[in-house]
Structures are given as C-alpha cells and as structure tokens.
Amino acid sequence: MQKRKLGQTIIRQRELFFMIIPVMVYVFIFSYLPLKGWAMAFQQYRPQRDVQQWVGFDQFTFLFKDAAFFRVMRNTLGMSTINLVLGFTTAIFLALMINEIRRKNFKRIVQTISYMPHFLSWVIAAALISDFLSSRGILNTILVNLGIVETPIIFLADKNAFWWIFGWGNVWKSVGWNTIIYLAAITSIDPELYESAELDGAGRFARMWHITLPGIKSTILVLIIMNMGWILNAGFEVQMLLGNDLTIDTSETIDLFVIRYGINLRNYSLATAMGMFKTVTSIILLTAANFASKRFAKESLV
C-alpha cells in the first residue's frame, strides 16, 4: 500500500473535512472558549467588577474540607454506578429481546413505546414518577389491594430507596433510546454466522450468547469507556425534582452542592473550582478506562 501525503488525504476526503467544520466550530465556541473562565477558580470572583481578587487554592481547600463534600461525592458515585450498571444491562437485554422478535409490527410497537419516555423532560418524568410512587399512586394501590403491605409505603420519604428510585427512573426513561445503538450494531452482524450456527445445532440462547453478544462487544466497550467520563455527572435535575429534606442525605449530588453553595450564594468561584475538579477527574477516568480496555480487550477509543 502506498502512503499518501497528508495534503492529498485532505483533498481526497474534502467532503468529510467540510462536514466536520461546524462541529469543530461548535466545540471550540462552547467547550474551549469558556475554559478561560477557569481563572475564576483561583479568585474570589464578584460579578460586574473589573478587578478581581486572587485567592490561590482557597476555593479548593474550602471544598475538600467541607464535611458535606464526602457525602455528596459518595452519593454521586453511588448513583452513577447504579445508573451505569442498570443502564447497560437493561439496554443490552432489551436490545437482544427486541432482536429476537419475528413479527415486524409488534417489534416496532415495542420499540416506539419503550423509547417514548426519552422525549419527556425530566420535570414531567419526575412528576410522573412521584405520582406513580405516591401514597395514592398506582404502585401503592396495587400493593395495598393485593395485601402485600397494610399501609401505603411513602417511597419518596425513604432515604434508602432514593438511589434505586433514581436508577430505575433512569432505566424507564432511557432504556428504549439506549437500545437503538445496539440494534444498529446487531444488524451489521453477518447473517451467515447465524445460519451456520443454526446448522451446527445452536439454539436461540446459544446464538445470542455466542454470536450476537460478541458481535456487539466493541460497541459496548466503546460506550462504557465514553460513559466512564460521565461518572461524576449524576446530574441534578432528578435529585432536585424528586429529592426532599427527608432524603437529602442520599440525594444531594456534587452538582446540587455546587448549586447550593456556589451558584445560590453567588460564589461563582467555588462552582468553577468544583467544575474544574470534575473535569480533571473525568479525564483521568476516561484515560484509565481506555487504557484498561486496550490492554485487556484490544478495543479502544483513541
């Protein structure tokens, strides 16, 4: 194979390069330009002032010394992990199930219904979830009428239940949507593999296990690596909408802490310091996951 020069490559693939320009402009404007705001993390930033006071690492010291920090860190990691594990297993499971459905119409209906919640905003989804879990909601009505419990359980007042409400709420909202990418990966598996496996006497589950799953392994790994970068982002909408004083011990995440002590107290510097900490940790996690995957599974993102 002949090695081409870079310039020639660019000219040959000019359409592709042209198409990537908007994305690069977007990333530059929204991801790189704001980086100059990181300076705020080392200041006692006051809005609408020309000169700012530099305070070194004071904001970081405040952050790591606060007793609440470890609590919110634990909550964030806990919810992220639950979300990651539940999210992956349910989506892969559902994708495999949908793939096995023979009747096209039924398949389409299942797919459409399962990814409908994805299009709801969290405000609405949270209202539906809290209605579902309320003392007069459908879940309690069923439990009480079947005699499983005597009085309704107030799920949202139980701080030990919050992580799981968060996890399963997320599953309900996004499982259908997450299957799309796996279903797409499954279609690229050569049908001949299935045919020959069938001839060799492989049953349905054997085919799923030995052909479909290995066939989408690289997709799964790439997605896991990418999601490692998001592990400190357990979000704040769900926690803000479904959390309350009774569950605050388990529902307050890093982002909520930043809102309370950073944004709401107009301590923008603290919020920035927290953002910086999250970004740096995410990059480390991402690189580590990528390295591990390259090492053990010979798959990698970069």
Binding site for other proteins (CB under 8 A): 15, 19, 22, 44, 46-49, 68, 130, 134-136, 154, 156-157, 240, 244-249, 259-261, 263-268
CB of 103 to other proteins, least distance (A): 31
CB of 64 to other proteins, least distance (A): 16
Instruction: Report DSSP state, residue 246.
Output: G
210 CB-near residues (< 8 Å, 6+ apart): 197, 202
CB of 234 to other proteins, least distance (A): 18
Nearer to other proteins, 18 or 296 (CB): 18
Residue 17, both tokens: 């390069």
Nearer to other proteins, 135 or 282 (CB): 135
CB of 68 to other proteins, least distance (A): 8
Nearer to other proteins, 60 or 88 (CB): 60
Nearer to other proteins, 127 or 181 (CB): 127
Contact 254, 271 (CB under 8 A): no
CB of 52 to other proteins, least distance (A): 12
Q: How far is CA 127 from CA 86, 243, 252, in A?
A: 22, 12, 19
Rg (C-alpha) for the chain, rounded Å, is 24
Q: What is the CB-side half-sphere exposure of residue 217 using CA atoms within 13 A?
A: 13
Q: Residue 280: what are its φ and ψ, rounded to 5°? A: -60, -45
Nearer to other proteins, 213 or 241 (CB): 241
| CA-CA-CA-CA dihedral for 137, 139, 142, 146, to nearest 10 | -130
